[in-house]
Amino acid sequence: MPRLLRPDLRLERIVDLSPAELAATGIEGLIVDLDNTLARPNQAFADRAVRRWFDAVRAAGLKIVILSNNFPPRVEAFASSVHAPFLAKAKKPWMRSFRRALAMMGVPAARACVVGDQLFTDVLGGNLVGCHTVLVSPLGPGEFIGTRLVRRVERLVLPRIAAEERQGRPG
Ligand SMILES: [Mg+2]
């Protein structure tokens, strides 16, 4: 499996990621996906667990930007519910959007972590610009047909990555 499609870490949910531990390892900023990472696609605002997680991010002194391929009204409404800056219509894995997010935070790529639920947008884009990458399990249904097609490809690819990880083979 190409190294660029391999996340540094895999977690079930974004709220399982400890901002304090990230800060302790030298991470200074987070670039986070919205749909299926922070919220279900049909969920307009952050739930309590995610709002608490954003509080913990700020308490740890981390910068954060929500980076989404979705349209501005959806992303802005959600971002306002967690008081976070955002970039919409990001065209991930387009590198320019990740670089803009890094510039908004004033954090170099090597000290930033990208968190998302998709290999071909979040993980690929994050790896391309030299960020750390975390893949989370998608939160739920209600997503677009294009995303569903990508997931079918991901289901073919992820078992291979897992098998390679078990064997400790490099990419
Ligand atoms: Mg997503």
Supply the pTM of this predicted model: 0.84
Say how many Å lie between the CA of residue 17 and the centre of ligand 1.
16
Judge if the upstream peptide bond of residue 72 is cis by omega within 30 degrees of 0.
Answer: no
Tell me the C-alpha distance between 107 and 39, whole Å: 25
Q: Which amino acid does the sequence have at 83?
A: H
Average pLDDT for 134-162: 76
Q: How many domains does the chain have?
A: 1
Average pLDDT for 37-46: 94
Cross-strand pairs, 35: 39
Q: Which structural domain range is residue 72 located in?
A: 3-167
Quick one: pLDDT at residue 147? 67
Confidence of residue 153 (pLDDT cuts 50, 70, 90): confident
Average pLDDT for 149-164: 77
Please identify which residue in the block is written with the tokens 């209600």. Answer: 142
Say how many Å lie between the CA of residue 3 and the centre of ligand 1.
20
Contacts of 68 (CB under 8 A, 6+ apart): 33, 34, 35, 74, 75, 86, 87, 88, 89, 90
Whether 141 shows a pLDDT value over 70: the answer reads no
Q: What percent of the chain has pLDDT over 70?
A: 92
Cross-strand pairs, 86: 66
Whether 39 shows a pLDDT value over 60: the answer reads yes
Quick one: pLDDT at residue 50? 97
Average pLDDT, the chain: 92
Confidence of residue 144 (pLDDT cuts 50, 70, 90): low
Q: What is the CATH number of the domain that holds 94?
A: 3.40.50.1000
Say how many Å lie between the CA of residue 170 and the centre of ligand 1.
27
pLDDT tens digits for 87-105? 999 999 999 999 999 999 9
Say how many Å lie between the CA of residue 36 and the centre of ligand 1.
5
**CB–CB of 135/117 below 8 Å?**
yes
Quick one: pLDDT at residue 160? 80
